[in-house]
Structure 1
Amino acid sequence: MKVAIAGAGAVGRSIARELLRNEHEVMLVERKLDHVDPTSVPDAKWVHGDACELSLLETAGLEQYDVVIAATGDDKANLVLSLLATTEFGVARVVARVNDPRNEWLFDESWGVDVAVSTPRMLASLVEEAVSVGDLVRLMTLRKGANLVEITLPDTTALAGKPVRKLALPRDVALVTILRGDRVIVPQADDPLEGGDELLFVAAEEVEDELRALIER
């Protein structure tokens, strides 16, 4: 897979190293000359320039890339790049970093963003996930209005002992996995639920309240 990353700060370089370890092809685009350090990620292709400039993206051949990651420290730049990658270059998947949580509402498909990653929100979600029982916690926003959400069943849940097929899930909700102790369970129709299970769902945002109500019954 070919991945273009805008922003070669600590975040961009870390993402690049991880992708290279997984044998993907990576291009790093960086505007600040003092951040351009090919020795820090020697296996990546480096481009010095502004990732919001159409001519630079054309020269870099952005249309050849499968994924664009807008990882700069500037939300405006990340939005502009996301829009250009989608509308001008037809990139299939765009992931954008959200620096200021107040701007998160902008990072959606209207700006060409498939997945928005907000570090403050993710950290808060992980804290909530660790201490919340019986409530729905949104872990990540996926593309087209879907979210990865988690619900931990209380020890006294009325669902204990019932098979997964008895969950009358709302439309546009899928149970992805069950975390039980150190086990990761791919749910089958006859698998029984237990108190303390962590249920991971992919759910459309508009049905999250229905899902919450179902689990709380």
Structure 2
Amino acid sequence: MYAIIVGCGRVGAQIANLLSIEGHNVVVIDRNSPSFNRLGANFNGITIVGSGYDLEVLEDAGIKKADALAAVTNEDNVNIIAAQVAKTIFKVPRVIARIYDPKREELYEEFGLDVIGGTTLFARLIMDKLIEKSITHFLSEDYGMDIIELKINDDLSDLTMEKIEEKERVKIFAIIRPDEAIYPQKNMYARTGDILIAVGETKR
């Protein structure tokens, strides 16, 4: 997949790193070059300094061949404009915009934009941490599937990713450790303290 990430804050950098680890072609656009320091030494993609809705910048980023674009800056207006340009002018097949103001979500969805609001996601994350759940569900139950944060304790340590997937009935797509994010292989072993990002069926 050829993906463009607009915004290299913590969210954008994390998405870019995970996609890069998985072997996708990734281009990151940000107006401030120091932001690219968040990507780390193992990032294999391309970085471009500029605005995520500037036509020339987007063309330099290869948007005409892009399969996906995620606009995840800290400004709603920038994200929406970048998403609109990608969707309407360049016909990018998959476009997602991050929205901070929950009041705007429904309006932008009416325009045909795929938007993700942080309010609901972080509310659920904070709630789960307050009651000390070992599994955190990030997505709405309306979709039937959740993105899950699974914290590895002693019961799951020393098991392979394949065994954990069978035991927890999930599909793991990232391992988060203090100093790195890893794309999992089935024969890799979990360590106590690992955080696994996975997809699982919503428990109703």
| TM-score, normalization by structure 2 | 0.60
The 1:16–1:109 alpha-carbon spacing in structure 2 relative to 1, beyond 3 Å, is farther
* Kept after mapping to 2: 8 A contact 1:29/1:46: yes
- Count of paired positions: 146
- Counterpart CA distance in 2 for 1:22 and 1:89 is 25
Q: What is residue 107 of structure 1 aligned with on the other side?
A: 108
Letter in 1 for 2:29: V
1:117-132 alignment to 2 at 5 Å?
117-125=116-124, 127=127
Q: What is residue 200 of structure 1 aligned with on the other side?
A: 202
The 1:123–1:57 alpha-carbon spacing in structure 2 relative to 1, beyond 3 Å, is same
Bigger Rg over Cα: 1
What secondary structure does 2:8 align onto?
A: coil
Q: What is residue 8 of structure 2 aligned with on the other side?
A: 8
Show CA shifts across 1:5-58 (max 9, x none).
000111111111111111111000001233244872541100110011122212
Show CA shifts across 1:50-74 (max 9, x none).
0111222123221111010111000
Alignment identity in percent? 28
1:5-84 alignment to 2 at 5 Å?
5-37=5-37, 40=40, 42-84=43-85
* Kept after mapping to 2: 8 A contact 1:27/1:47: yes
* Kept after mapping to 1: 8 A contact 2:9/2:35: yes
What secondary structure does 1:139 align onto?
A: coil
- Counterpart CA distance in 2 for 1:31 and 1:9 is 11
Structure 1 stretches of 5 or more lacking a match? 132-136, 142-146, 151-181, 186-197, 202-214
Let me know the Cα RMSD of the aligned residues.
3.2
- Counterpart CA distance in 2 for 1:37 and 1:199 is 36
Letter in 1 for 2:105: E
Letter in 2 for 1:95: I
Q: What is residue 148 of structure 1 aligned with on the other side?
A: 143
Show CA shifts across 1:156-198 (max 9, x none).
xxxxxxxxxxxxxxxxxxxxxxxxxx5539xxxxxxxxxxxx9
Shift of 1:101: 2.3
Letter in 2 for 1:53: D
Shift of 1:109: 5.7
The 1:38–1:138 alpha-carbon spacing in structure 2 relative to 1, beyond 3 Å, is closer
What secondary structure does 1:90 align onto?
A: coil
